[in-house]
Amino acid sequence: MATEITLAPDLWDATANPEGIVANWFFQEGASVSKGATVAEIMVEKTTFDIVAPADGRLHIAVAKDGVVTPGAVIGTIDGG
């Protein structure tokens, strides 16, 4: 079962800043991650948000580092064991 890594729709005020970027992935594609681990960092202007794994499993990256994202976007999935 795959769990989506979804940015919260209210993570930032999209009326002020419509887009952010994926600043960092802290695991490689296919890495095994634990629920709650910080897997990625999103930057909007100069503010950053840590994104945590919603489940245990294998990470699949959908939006690569430096990719543009909006609130509510799915940036990756976690395939559960």
Partner 1 sequence: MSSNRIMTVSRAISEAIAQEMRADPTVFVMGEDIGKYGGIFGATGGLLAEFGEERVRDTPISETGFIGAGVGAAMSGMRPIVELMFVDFFGVCMDAIYNLAAKNIYFSGGHYKVPMVIMTATGGGYSDAGQHSQTLHATFAHLPGLKVVAPSNAYDAKGLMISAIRDDSPVVFMFHKGLQGLAWMASPEGAATELPEDAYAIPFGEAKVVRSGKDVTIVTLSMMVHHALDAARALEKEGIDAEVIDLRTLVPLDRKTVLKSVAKTGRLVVVDEDYKSFGLTAEILASVVEDDPAHLKAAPRRLAVPDVPIPYSRPMEQFVLPNAETIAAAVRETLGRAREAA
Binding site for partner 1 (CB under 8 A): 21, 23-28, 31-34, 36-38, 41, 43, 46, 48
Instruction: State whether residue 9 is helix, strand or coil.
Output: coil
Considering beta carbons, is residue 10 or 45 the nearer one to partner 1?
45
Cβ proximity to partner 1, 15 vs 28, nearer residue = 28
Tell me whether residue 27 or residue 54 sits nearer to partner 1 (CB atom): 27
CB of 19 to partner 1, least distance (A): 13
Q: Where are the beta strands (DSSP E) in the chain?
A: 2-6, 20-25, 32-33, 38-44, 47-52, 57-61, 68-69, 74-79
